[in-house]
Copies of this chain bind each other. A is one copy, B any other.
Amino acid sequence: MKLYSYFRSSAAYRVRIALNLKQLDYAIQPVHLLKNEQQQEHYLALNPSQLVPSLTDQDQPFTQSLNILEYLEERYPTRPLLPTDLVERAKIRAFSQTIACDIHPLDNLRVLKYLKHELAVNDEQKNQWYQHWIIEGFKSLEKQLKSSNGQFCFGTDATFADCCLIPQVYNAKRFNVDLSDFPKIQSIDQYCLTLPAFLKATPEQQPDWE
């Protein structure tokens, strides 16, 4: 498997965690978003949305991070990242989508570029925008975590939810979001970042880290 990744992309970071948790072998192929490598023709053939991550497996391309997680779960069910109970699966997917549909799309690089170049938004306003959508989303996530034991998001094993949460917290810390109102999120983040599967996926551990 080859993962097309950018060290700072939180969507790619989700997939790196999942691959590590499932102990699947993969090679990282960096795609430098600031150098617009995602717009090059050979990459567009893999990913017409010009976004990372993409995964190739058995000569097939896969795009969209949550879709890649679902694919990995279906193709490689060993070391599952979803439980079998349908209600629990739904809680985990809802949590993951709160991040992937409600927070991250608004703080994506292409959106920040649009704000700056098309709407002449200044740096302070841009940072407020970035923080606003994280805080709104984290309020919901913290409520969704009410049954968490403070180690993983749901139950006693890592799931899609943890694959999504840790990269989003990384972005929150990078933009100095005050996390004091979110004790469960902080606790889970601290715990997961003691585990090799999560540590190996951090931006700092990537071959394209700058």
Q: Taking beta carbons and an 8 Å cutoff, which residues of A are in contact with B?
A: 48-51, 60, 62-64, 66-68, 70-71, 74-75, 86-87, 89-90, 93-94, 97-98, 100-102, 104-106, 111, 114-115, 118-119, 121, 125, 128-129, 132, 137, 139-140, 143-144
Summarize A's interface: helix, strand, loop or mixed. Answer: helix
Q: How many copies of this chain? A: 2
Within 8 Å CB of A128, what residues of B?
Answer: 118
Q: How far is the CA of A84 from the CA of B209 in the complex (A)?
A: 39
Q: A93-B64, A125-B119 are in contact. Are A98 and B49 (CB under 8 A)?
A: yes
Partner of A97, one of B66, B106, B111: B66
Assess whether A64 is in contact with B114, with CB atoms less than 8 Å apart.
no
Assess whether A86 is in contact with B75, with CB atoms less than 8 Å apart.
yes
